[in-house]
Amino acid sequence: MPLNLPIILTWLRVALIPIIVGIFYLPESILPLHLQNLLGAVVFALAAVTDWFDGFLARRWNQTSSFGAFLDPVADKLMVAAALILLVELARAPSWLAVIIIGREITISALREWMAQIGKSKSVAVATIGKFKTTAQMIAILLLLWWDPIIPGIKTSIIGLVALYIAGVLTIVSMFYYLRVAAEQFRENR
């Protein structure tokens, strides 16, 4: 396993997952809810920044590796799944929408693994629609963790929920995009 700064940042993202979740399980006598929201959102934002930064550095410094290519999406999916489950537990996100988003992540991960086995992994590389989906997800989760108004009268809870529904729609659209690409490859290989 190569150990460089991009991989360390990816491992940091994995390590931040239990911290994000744990913040919301602290008793309010230790950490009041509004500080749980703030701290949880800040730690999630830090994790989300490492998601962008590790890939940027790996490409910039030519430190890409097959292990990093494996670990990065696993860390992303763990972070999103944990945050969505937490938001459902906190009654800030609908469970059915979390199931759709997490289910898509599992489906596309399995699809990518299968495509790699038949030598067609490049055909299901991350597409622009997937990047939009990820951006909407990260914004939604961040705002739903924050929960408290940023500016009086502007409810992050409403904006976050709208962003989560947008992420849900993009989740479904991107899943069908990847499945269609895979189906074309499957037909060519038959």
Residue type, 105: E
- pLDDT tens per residue, range 44-58: 999 999 988 888 888
Q: Which of 75, 65, 136, 154 is nearest to 109 (CA)?
A: 75
In a 13 Å sphere around the CA of 27, the CA atoms on its Cβ side amount to: 2
For the chain, domain boundaries: 5-189
pLDDT at 13: 94
Angle between helix 5-23 and helix 33-60 axes, rounded to 10 deg: 170
pLDDT at 27: 96
Average pLDDT, consecutive stretches of 10 residues, N- to C-terminus, the chain (190 residues)? 83 95 96 96 95 83 79 90 97 97 90 75 69 92 93 89 96 88 72
Task: Give the span between the Cα atoms of 11 and 17, in whole angstroms.
Answer: 10
C-alpha distances out from residue 114 to 71, 77, 81, 179, 187, Å: 17, 18, 22, 12, 14
Place of tokens 């060519």: 188
pLDDT at 43: 97
pLDDT at 70: 80
pTM of the model: 0.89
pLDDT at 159: 95
Q: Are 144 and 78 within 8 A, CB to CB?
A: no
pLDDT at 121: 61
Secondary-structure class of domain 5-189 per CATH: mainly alpha
